[in-house]
């Protein structure tokens, strides 16, 4: 409510100033004062008179009441003289206001865009020194180039900063889990291990029995079968010696081999198959492959354990054990086949050495836990790119060498080296920060310049270092680059000329305040670029100009700025093109939107356009890193969104301050819940219904003629609000009651005054409620200077009866003005035809069209449409559209049959 009161008071003040200005402009005394030669002396006398009056008032205020009154009169006279001067200036400005605004536009735009041309140094690099210049005093001067070189070196030598790439780390852990899951699948296929109690059969024997070849397994079974008839302990008469021999066989590298005979090679003696120090074992002639010492020891150990089990247990348990070993051997072969299939699909083998199947179940669980722990530790520390393979291998070996079980160490090493890969990613932000910090830590490179040292020598070219020293001692004079300034002025003038041509071609009626607003919005972009702010107001300009004046004017301004700014200002072309693209999108779309929410979405579209084009242009023309490119593009997109939000916030205030109408504001004004429209519906319901029908007619015609439909609708709703001053004075509000003009007034002149007053009262109400000027124009222009025919006819009849009565047509005509736009003209025609269309009951469309053509022809012949821009053909089209709308409202209905009520049926019984 506070800001509404503020805006109301501000608008009222502007209205008062505008009225005073119009009154002063129309007074002839101003012209006479201008022609008076003595009036020029008032310019110099004004300050003296004011000072004299103030001094007189202050020094003689105690002399009574008369003297202050005299002083006030003198002050009033001086103020009147001052007003005279102001009036002269105001009149000149008003008469030449277009030229004044044009001059202001050229000067302001040239001053901002060409600001660097004003204070350019006389001495420049590679120019010849006009004289020898020496240092006025001793001082240390920074060598900027060397400082920059040292800082660049610090930046280049600054080590990069890394961060762990969590996504890549997760992928490594996923790959590791897949390998371990494959190991679980292979071991599940091989069954449990150990597969029986270790007290009955040792783990080495179980491992050998399930992994030995089929021929070895058959020989073991035959040997055990033959020993059934031998005394107990035949195989190992001395178990200790046998055990010692086995251990010795594992440690030595002898060539003792256990051989079997082959059917093809003939039969060998059984004694040749047994070592001398061991008991004899009869083996199958199928066992023909040589066995090394270690395998031989495992063989004898397995046979011994089986023989002991057979002797110490029942035959049934022994048979079950042999059967269990056979099943385990089959599972083991299946596991080996599965392992071969999995390894065949890899580029690097992992489980080829069968360590996986030799581990016990408990050792495998421990091994998996160790693999995961080591991998987590190494990945947490991070593996950088370019790390030598030996370095990673040594790191893994250091982690593995102390682990238990020892037999699993090769497998753990192979799995880790297969899975682990670099997971450190360069942290661009921290690297840049560290580089900047390193650059800041470099102290400026200072050079001592002593007093009277020669800085430049006359006749020699000035180097960059010498120019810097001169600038340090402030020995460089500045001058205005008139050539550059004239060039910028010419370009700005050409751009403004193009804008004027486009304005006239588009037939856009701009007021001086509109041109001033366009100038202010246009200045915002180069003004911010002058202060080095690249994220400037492109989106705000496009959105506001497109919303206020349409897409054509907005695109024109943005395009002209895009062409002019690179000439007079040093700014990146990528920034200009991207910003202008966002401004053009805002200009093209703003006028089509009908709500603040849609405008907010447009802000997102502008931001996306600016950021996207900025990103594409950077990728094409810049070799910078992805991080920096995306960061800059994101900031540019956010700036577009921010300026769009600023434009949305400023829009209502600019609409009020510059008396503008936008589609959104018109939609808000057309809301029937607005206070003025609610009053109209309550106090003058007949007029409100009349207004709605007129709005329907006018809207249809405006849409057909491609006029401003929102303006027509809003203006129509308010065109008759003045009737609220005396609702019963208008027939549509009498609701069939007595007509006060016939029962009470009985004076056509007074009745005409009441009718005419609805225009003046409507304007007063519109100003009180701060309606835009474009809406206020509908109130007088919808009546124009038409004749109030009914009461004019009554007056003429009275004049016939009484010759002393004089009838002046001006008393029965509205004060005008006639319609000044197509929109107000359409409302005039709709208002004239509404009552006639309501009166039609059973008329045909042809009859209705003839009647409307007669009404509209009368308006045309009465010269009510000469300033509106409507053509005779368009007036005929409007009549046809009105008839079509009337047909839609008065379509035929189905005649429903009449049904008798139950009471009627009972009565007729």
Residue 318: pLDDT band with limits 50, 70, 90: confident
The answer to whether the CB of 833 falls within 8 A of the CB of 850 is: no
3-state DSSP call for residue 328?
helix
- 392-409 pLDDT, tens digit per residue, is 888 888 888 777 778 788
Higher pLDDT, 83 or 554: 554
Q: How confident is the model at residue 279 (pLDDT cuts 50, 70, 90)?
A: very low
Tell me the per-residue pLDDT of 41-62, one tens digit each, with 9 for 90 and over. 433 444 444 344 444 433 433 3
* φ, ψ for residue 536, nearest 5 deg: -100, -165
Q: Decide: helix, strand or coil at residue 505.
A: helix
pLDDT of residue 11: 57
Residue 877 reports pLDDT greater than 60: yes
Token digits for 87?
């009036």
Q: Integer distance in angstroms from the first to the last C-alpha of the chain?
A: 70
CB proximity list for 663: less than 8 A, separation 6 or greater: 547, 591, 592, 593, 594, 710
Tens of pLDDT, residue by residue over 162-184, are 888 888 888 888 888 888 888 88
The mean per-residue pLDDT over the stretch 557-566 comes to: 92
Please indicate whether residue 691 or residue 47 has the higher confidence score (pLDDT).
691
Peptide bond into 255 cis (omega under 30): no
CA distances (Å), 761 to each of 535, 726, 745, in order? 49, 10, 20
Establish how many alpha carbons lie within 13 A of residue 198's alpha carbon, considering only the half-sphere containing its beta carbon: 8
**Encoded tokens for 625:** 């890193």
Other beta carbons within 10 angstroms of residue 157's beta carbon come to 9
Residue-level pLDDT at 613:
92
Question: Please, which residues bridge with residue 425 across strands?
Answer: 163
- State residue 102's pLDDT score: 87
> Model pTM?
0.56
The dihedrals phi and psi of 696, each to the nearest 5 degrees, come to -65, -45
For helices 845-861 and 872-889, angle between their N-to-C axes, nearest 10 degrees: 140
- Contact between residue 123 and residue 476 where contact means Cβ atoms under 8 Å apart: yes
- Strands (DSSP E) found in 437-544: 446-449, 454-456, 478-479
Are 441 and 83 contacting, i.e. CB atoms less than 8 angstroms apart?
no
CA of residue 570 relative to chain centroid, distance: 27
pLDDT tens per residue across span 113-149: 887 777 677 777 878 877 888 888 888 888 888 888 8
Give the CA-trace dihedral at 312, 313, 319, 325, to 10 degrees: -70
Instruction: Assign 524 a pLDDT band (cuts: 50, 70, 90).
Output: very high
pLDDT at position 184 is 86
Q: How far is CA 651 from the centre of its chain?
A: 20
In terms of DSSP bridges, do strands 120-121 and 478-479 run parallel, antiparallel, or are they unpaired? Answer: antiparallel
- Please give the residue that has the higher pLDDT: either 624 or 220: 220
d(CA 75, CA 55): 11
Distance of CA 293 to the CA centre of its chain: 79
pLDDT in tens, 233-261: 444 434 333 333 333 333 333 333 333 33
Using an 8 Å Cβ cutoff, are 763 and 780 in contact?
A: yes
Task: Note whether 798 and 748 are within 8 A (CB).
Answer: yes
- DSSP readout, 139-172? EEEE-HHHHHHHHHHHHHHSPPPEEE-HHHHHHH
In the numeric block, which tokens belong to residue 463? Answer: 């180097």
Please indicate whether residue 78 or residue 451 has the higher confidence score (pLDDT).
451
In angstroms, the Cα distances linking 787 to 25, 553, 868 are 31, 40, 18
Collect all residues with Cβ–Cβ distance below 8 Å to 394 and sequence separation of at least 6.
Answer: none
Q: Are 551 and 508 in contact (CB under 8 A)?
A: no
What pLDDT score does 277 carry? Answer: 35
Query: Cβ distance 541 to 582 under 8 Å?
Result: no
CA distance 343 to 179: 11
Run of H or E including 162: strand 162-164
> Of the ranges 357-361, 449-453, 758-762, which is most confident?
758-762
Per-residue pLDDT reduced to its tens digit, 830-839: 998 988 887 7
In this predicted structure, the answer to whether residue 304 has a pLDDT above a threshold of 80 is yes
Q: What would the DSSP string read from start to end of 606-627? A: HHHHHHHHHHHHHHHH----HH
Residue 294 confidence class, pLDDT cut points 50, 70, 90: very low
pLDDT of residue 233: 45
CB proximity list for 562: less than 8 A, separation 6 or greater: 576, 577, 580
CB 530 within 8 A of CB 112: yes
| 82 pLDDT above the threshold of 60 | no
pLDDT score for 762: 92
For residue 846, what are its two tokens? 């042809």
pLDDT above 90 (res 20): no
Give the 3-state secondary structure of residue 480. coil
Q: What is the pLDDT of residue 50?
A: 38
Place of tokens 């009552």: 835
Q: How many CA atoms lie within 13 A of 360 on its CB side?
A: 14
- Cβ(564)–Cβ(491) under 8 Å? yes
Helix axes 538-549, 512-530, angle to 10 degrees: 170
pLDDT at 638: 93
pLDDT of residue 779: 93
């Amino acid at each position: 409510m506070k800001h509404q009161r503020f805006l109301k008071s501000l608008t009222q003040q502007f209205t008062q100033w505008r009225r005073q200005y119009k009154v002063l402009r129309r007074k002839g005394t101003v012209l006479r004062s201008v022609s008076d030669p003595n009036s020029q002396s008032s310019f110099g006398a004004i300050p003296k008179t004011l000072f004299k009056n103030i001094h007189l008032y202050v020094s003689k205020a105690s002399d009574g009441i008369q003297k202050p009154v005299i002083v006030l009169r003198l002050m009033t006279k001086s103020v009147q003289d001052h007003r005279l001067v102001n009036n002269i200036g105001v009149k000149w400005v008003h008469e030449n206001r277009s030229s004044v605004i044009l001059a202001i536009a050229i000067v302001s735009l040239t001053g901002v865009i060409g600001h660097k041309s004003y204070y350019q140094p006389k001495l420049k690099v590679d120019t010849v020194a006009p004289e020898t210049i020496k240092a006025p005093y001793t001082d240390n001067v920074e060598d900027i180039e060397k400082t920059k070189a040292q800082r660049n070196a610090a930046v280049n030598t600054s080590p990069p900063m890394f961060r762990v790439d969590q996504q890549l780390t997760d992928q490594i852990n996923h790959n590791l889990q897949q390998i371990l899951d494959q190991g679980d699948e292979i071991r599940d296929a091989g069954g449990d291990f150990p597969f029986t109690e270790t007290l009955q059969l040792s783990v080495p024997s179980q491992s050998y029995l399930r992994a030995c070849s089929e021929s070895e397994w058959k020989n073991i079974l035959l040997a055990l079968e033959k020993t059934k008839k031998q005394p107990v302990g035949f195989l190992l008469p001395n178990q200790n010696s046998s055990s010692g021999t086995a251990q010795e066989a594992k440690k030595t590298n002898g060539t003792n081999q256990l051989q079997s005979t082959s059917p093809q090679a003939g039969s060998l003696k059984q004694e040749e198959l047994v070592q001398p120090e061991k008991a004899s074992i009869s083996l199958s002639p199928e066992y023909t492959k040589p066995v090394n010492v270690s395998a031989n020891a495992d063989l004898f150990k397995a046979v011994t354990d089986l023989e002991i089990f057979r002797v110490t247990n029942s035959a049934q348990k022994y048979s079950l054990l042999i059967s269990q070993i056979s099943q385990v051997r089959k599972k083991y072969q299946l596991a080996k086949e599965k392992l071969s299939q999995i390894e065949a699909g890899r580029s690097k083998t992992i489980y080829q050495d069968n360590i996986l199947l030799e581990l016990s179940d408990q050792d495998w669980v421990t091994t998996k836990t160790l693999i995961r722990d080591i991998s987590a530790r190494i990945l947490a520390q991070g593996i950088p790119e370019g790390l030598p393979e030996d370095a990673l291998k040594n790191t893994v070996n250091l982690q593995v060498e102390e682990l238990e079980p020892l037999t699993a160490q090769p497998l753990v090493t192979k799995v880790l080296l297969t899975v682990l890969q670099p997971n450190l990613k360069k942290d661009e932000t921290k690297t840049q920060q560290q580089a900047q910090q390193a650059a800041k830590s470099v102290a400026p490179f200072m050079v001592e310049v002593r007093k009277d040292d020669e800085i430049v020598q006359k006749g020699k070219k000035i180097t960059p270092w010498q120019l810097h020293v001169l600038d340090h001692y402030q020995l460089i004079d500045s001058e205005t680059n008139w050539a550059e300034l004239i060039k910028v002025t010419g370009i700005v003038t050409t751009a403004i000329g193009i804008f004027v041509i486009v304005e006239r071609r588009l037939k856009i009626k701009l007021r001086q305040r509109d041109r001033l607003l366009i100038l202010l919005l246009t200045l915002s972009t180069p003004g911010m670029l002058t202060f080095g702010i690249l994220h400037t107001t492109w989106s705000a300009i496009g959105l506001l100009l497109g919303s206020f004046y349409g897409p054509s004017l907005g695109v024109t301004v943005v395009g002209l700025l895009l062409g002019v700014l690179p000439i007079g200002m040093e700014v990146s072309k990528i920034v200009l093109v991207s910003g202008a693209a966002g401004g053009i999108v805002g200009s093209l779309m703003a006028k089509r939107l009908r709500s603040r929410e849609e405008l907010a979405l447009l802000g997102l579209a502008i931001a996306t356009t600016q950021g996207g084009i900025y990103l594409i242009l950077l990728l094409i023309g810049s070799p910078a890193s992805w991080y920096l490119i995306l960061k800059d593009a994101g900031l540019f997109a956010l700036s577009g969104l921010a300026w769009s939000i600023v434009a949305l916030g400023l829009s209502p205030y600019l609409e009020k301050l510059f008396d503008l109408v936008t589609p959104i504001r018109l939609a808000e004004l057309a809301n029937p819940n607005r206070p003025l429209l609610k009053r109209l519906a309550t106090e003058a319901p007949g007029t409100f219904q009349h207004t709605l029908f007129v709005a329907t007619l006018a809207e249809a015609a405006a849409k057909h003629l491609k006029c401003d439909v929102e303006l027509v609708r809003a203006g129509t709703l308010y065109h008759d609000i003045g009737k609220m001053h005396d609702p019963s004075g208008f027939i549509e509000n009498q609701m069939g009651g007595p007509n006060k003009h016939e029962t009470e007034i009985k004076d056509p002149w007074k009745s005409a005054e009441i009718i005419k007053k609805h225009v003046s009262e409507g304007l007063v109400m519109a100003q009180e409620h701060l309606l835009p000027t474009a809406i206020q124009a509908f109130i007088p222009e919808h009546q124009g200077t038409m004749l109030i025919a009914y009461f004019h006819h009554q007056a003429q009849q009275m004049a016939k009866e009484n010759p002393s009565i004089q009838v002046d047509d001006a008393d029965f005509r509205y004060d005008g003005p006639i319609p000044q736009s197509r929109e107000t003209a359409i409302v005039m025609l709709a208002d004239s035809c509404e009552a006639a269309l309501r009166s039609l009951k059973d008329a045909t469309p042809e009859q209705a069209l003839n009647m409307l053509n007669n009404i509209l022809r009368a308006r045309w012949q009465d010269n009510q449409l000469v300033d509106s821009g409507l053509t005779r053909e368009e007036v005929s089209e409007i009549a046809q559209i009105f008839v079509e709308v009337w047909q839609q409202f008065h379509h035929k209905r189905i005649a429903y049959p009449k049904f008798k009520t139950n009471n009627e049926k009972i009565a007729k019984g």
